[in-house]
Amino acid sequence: MRNRWQQPFVAESSVTEAFRKETMFTKALFAAALLAVLPAPALAGGSSKNDKALEAALKAYGKAVRWNDFETARESVDPQLRTPGGFSEADEAYYKRFQVSGYLLKSAERPDPQSYSQRVELRIIDVASQTERTQTDRQTWRYDPVAKRWWLTSGLPKLD
């Protein structure tokens, strides 16, 4: 005698099958998109100290920009390219005119172990007008074997 809680066997419908296939396709598409935007060191597993230093530099810089801490972000800029005197009051006033509301990695390239470039989409709010817009920030980085760290050679983004 069949237990009343047991359901009779029902063949999977074509609708259910189509839904399952669509879900699998969506997952595969998401995985492909994720792999496309991951930085090269993340794909390589961050095996070398050079890769780990790059990941740390990118993370620290991205965090500083996302939180509008451009004085901290400036510490990532190549010392040969920095203006003498540090982060000035004029620099501070300039960056206070804007609020970064988004920082999204769009593409990355590592032509050799000593250089790295990435394209980042910034979402920027003009504080005075409260309007938001997007802007592309093309960053180039170089590895300094003496300092054992990565430097941003493209400078801080211009937000206006």
Average of pLDDT values for 53-73? Answer: 97
pLDDT in tens, 96-125: 999 999 999 999 999 999 999 999 999 999
Give me the number of domains the chain comprises: 1
Does a structural domain hold residue 102?
Answer: yes
Does a structural domain hold residue 21?
Answer: yes
Q: What is the reported pTM?
A: 0.70
pLDDT in tens, 15-27: 556 555 565 555 5
Domain range for 46: 15-152
pLDDT in tens, 35-45: 454 554 444 44
Does a structural domain hold residue 2?
Answer: no
Does a structural domain hold residue 1?
Answer: no
Does a structural domain hold residue 32?
Answer: yes
Quote the distance between the C-alpha of residue 125 and its chain's center.
Answer: 19
Does a structural domain hold residue 6?
Answer: no
Q: Give the CATH number for residue 93.
A: 3.10.450.50
- Under the banding of pLDDT at 50, 70 and 90, the label for residue 86 is confident
Does a structural domain hold residue 158?
Answer: no
Percent of the chain with pLDDT over 70: 71
Does a structural domain hold residue 25?
Answer: yes
Mean pLDDT of the chain, nearest integer: 83
Determine whether 140 is exposed, middle or buried from the number of CB atoms within 10 Å of its CB (0-12, 13-18, 19+): middle
